[in-house]
Homo-oligomer: A and B are copies of this chain.
Amino acid sequence: MIGNFTYCNPTKIYFGKNALEGLKEELKKYGKNVLLVYGGGSIKKNGIYEKVVAALKESGKQIFEDGGVMPNPSYAKLCEGISRARAAKADLILAVGGGSVCDYAKAVSVSVHCDEDAWEKYYIRFEEPDCEIVPVGCVLTMVGTGSEMNGGSVITNHEQKLKIGHVFGENVFPKFSILDPEFTFTVPKYQMVSGIYDIMSHILEQYFSGTDDNTSDYISEGLLRSLIHSADIAVEDPHNYEARSNLMWTATWALNTLIAKGKTTDWMVHMLGQAVAAHTDATHGMTLAAVTMPYYTFILPYGTAKFARYAVNVWNVDPAGKSEKEVALEGLSRMEAWMRKIGLVMNISELGATREMLDGMVKSTLIMDGGYKVLTEEDIRSILSASF
């Protein structure tokens, strides 16, 4: 742990079967008006909506609905949510859904009592909230983003073709999150696998950076091994409670600030993936998967030692008699085979990207400076070209 840091994560987690019982405990702490935020309505089909509404009514809450949050929540929808929260005089925003719904709820929470334009303030100027923040709680129904225990909030501005995440401080973290693995059983396999890769990418974005020998990297390797093991089981048997619960908890710890402590981080896979999503509206985890191999192959020469460590400690590559580069490449090769096996999309064409979009995607890609190489615009063009 070479770098200085602070750590504080006050989100309370209720985990396991019947974790929704925890919601009633938490509701006691907040006022009467609850803005109930959800997505396309799948929670009305699988019974989760009914259970949540019953808990809210039992707790004497007035429910104001804000459904229809889309997978890449838009700036236009955010403006609508802010209006709804203001009209409701919301004391609590309850997000029931996956990461998009949680991200959106946080974006609303910091904007309700703010007079400035939310997109400009938080997603262009990256300012911190200087107004009252409406508390957020989450009932998680899809695994991957880690939004249930962090300050992350990604919003897409379709007009500007920009998908940008603001990582807010602990004052914006959900006050509580309800994690019942059974609530994720009805997620379609494509979404489940996409979520699995989102988890993996979160860990790797923090792992593939820095040269120090950091406890965070050892924790990351443990999380990766757990993820791979449980993903293999869940892909074969989606109703395996143990595997789904391990995936759910791994997702939370993959992105709740812990494994970034004391080190630099990369995040270029997300920047590339988000550029693809801004132009195609494709599923988040799949955009990450589709650009991963071209990007890691490109940066491997600049961080070979870490890629070799990854190969040995995560993919069980036997390093005996091999060069560091050979070990590193064998690790990536095993990773690629595993990605194909679990059903990830490995190119951006399949996600709707066309060669005509290339210039736009290059332009939409934010360049980060924490990885093994700071990319040039030409590097980005080359990586995205290799992703078709």
Closest to A14 in B: B6
- Encoded as 1 (CB less than 8 Å from any B CB) or 0, chain A from 182 to 224 comes to 0000000000000000000000000000001111001111110
* A242-B212, A246-B213 known; A8-B15 Cβ under 8 A: no
Whether, in the assembled complex, A38 has its beta carbon less than 8 Å from a beta carbon of chain B, the answer is no
A interface residues, how many (CB within 8 angstroms): 46
* A218-B226, A220-B222 known; A249-B1 Cβ under 8 A: yes
Which of A9, A222, A241 is packed against the most chain B CB atoms within 10 Å?
A222
Stretch from A17-25, A91-99, A332-340, A373-381 at the B interface: A17-25
In the complex, which residues of chain B have a beta carbon less than 8 angstroms from the beta carbon of A218? Answer: 222-223, 225-226, 229
> Could you list some 29 contacts between A and B, CB below 8 A?
A1-B15, A1-B16, A1-B181, A2-B241, A2-B245, A4-B17, A4-B19, A5-B16, A6-B12, A8-B10, A8-B11, A8-B13, A9-B9, A9-B10, A10-B10, A15-B261, A212-B242, A213-B230, A213-B242, A215-B223, A215-B246, A215-B250, A215-B253, A218-B225, A219-B219, A219-B226, A220-B222, A249-B261, A253-B258
In the A-B complex, the 7 residue pairs with the closest CB atoms: A4-B16, A222-B222, A218-B226, A8-B12, A1-B245, A218-B222, A7-B13
